[in-house]
Structure formats: C-alpha cells, structure tokens
Amino acid sequence: MLIIIDYGMGNLRSVQKGFERVGCRPVISRDPSQIGQADGIVLPGVGAFRDGMQHLAEYGLIEPIKSHIAKGLPFLGICLGLQMLFEESEEFGCEKGLGVFKGRVVRFPRDMELKVPHMGWNQLQIIRRPPILQDVPPSSFVYFVHSYYVVPEDKAIVAVTSSYGVEFCSMIWQDNIFATQFHPEKSQELGLGILKRFAELCI
C-alpha cells in the first residue's frame, strides 16, 4: 500500500492523480496506524515550513514518518516534504524540522535580480543517479515553485542540483529516502515516470 500523507497542506489530489496516471492507486491518509502499515509513503507539501511541522505534530504523524524511514521503506518527499526532513528552517526565524538529515532550509538571496519565488521550469544537473531517475536524460527540465531550498550538511546525500541565481540542491537521495524540491506531479511525462519508478519500489 502506497500512502500519500494528508496533513492539511499540499496538492494531494494532483499527486494522487499523477500516480493514478501511471497505474498506481495510492491512498490519501492521516491515520497514524494506517501509515504505519504502508509499503511506501509520500510526503508532499506546498506552503510554510512552520505550518507544515505544526500540522504533522497536530495529527500525530511525526513518529509514524520517522519509523517508516527507519525501517528502510521507500519514502518520497516533494517540495516542503523535502525541506521538513532537515533540522531547521530560517523561515519565520528558526523553525525545527524532522531532523532526519543535518542541515538548514534557507531563502534565495534577497539581493539577486531574479524573482522569488522560483516558479517555472528549470534544469536538473544529476550528480548521483537515484533509481527513480533511471531514465531521466541529463539537463532535463522539471517544474519548481519555492522560495527556500535545503543546504544539507552532508553533501553526499545531494543527488541533483539546479541553478537559479545560485546553485541549490534540488533532490536528495540516501538509501530508501528520495526527496525533490521540484514537483514530479507537475512535470509532465518525465515527472510521471519518476512517480512510476517510485511506486515500483513499493511493490
């Protein structure tokens, strides 16, 4: 069973429809016991880091997520679902995250000439190729919407970078954990292929 975690934020239906288009039937749930039985989980998200963490705590979802990851089961974070894996975010001061990885979430520089949020299509520079990017050509374009990005302390977990005024981490990968700053569900056929390969890991 593949579960998309519903914590009151994010484009759940878009992610669900993306998986459905590649033949997967994920369940949307915020039930901690059901999430504890999942073969794979997806943590999507759009919005503020602080609100996301507050909602995860309110619904009792922090421990089920950490337990799932600790078991070595497939995990996919999308956008805010990537950022919350880290220790803290500078958004609204200093907000604590899940702490799965050491590192911070920072804003794009305020003095750069490009518009923030970073919104639209941008290229991927693949540093290490995760299984879910198996067939993704170099320099492929995917869709982004974000004002903040992750700065991992351990650079070895960085799988993909992109450039928007600065070079930033656009995907991490460590063992069973995959997380993207971009939105696969909004990235047309290439993005659907990523969702399909993740779903296949959960079988």
Q: For residues 60 and 121, what is the distance between their CA atoms, to the nearest angstrom?
A: 35
pLDDT of residue 38: 98
- What's the DSSP call for residue 91? T
- What range does the domain containing 90 cover? 2-201
Average of per-residue pLDDT across 33-51: 95
183 has catalytic annotation: yes
The pTM (predicted TM-score) of the whole model is 0.97
Tens of pLDDT, residues 151-194: 999 999 999 999 999 999 999 999 999 999 999 999 999 999 99
The number of folded domains in the chain is 1
Q: Which among 118, 146, 183, 202 is annotated as catalytic?
A: 183
55 has catalytic annotation: no
Q: Which among 68, 88, 146, 185 is annotated as catalytic?
A: 185
The yes-or-no verdict on residue 148 having pLDDT over 90 is: yes
Q: For residues 73 and 85, what is the distance between their CA atoms, to the nearest angstrom?
A: 15
The yes-or-no verdict on residue 22 having pLDDT over 90 is: yes
146 has catalytic annotation: no
Of the candidates 127, 203, 199, which has an alpha carbon nearest to the alpha carbon of residue 163?
A: 127
Q: For residues 48 and 147, what is the distance between their CA atoms, to the nearest angstrom?
A: 10
Torsion of CA 61, 63, 65, 68, to 10 degrees: -140
Binned at pLDDT 50, 70 and 90, residue 63 comes out as very high
CATH number reported for the structural domain that contains residue 187 in this entry: 3.40.50.880
3-state helix, strand, coil in the chain (%, to 5): 30, 35, 35
Q: Which among 79, 88, 95, 146 is annotated as catalytic?
A: 79
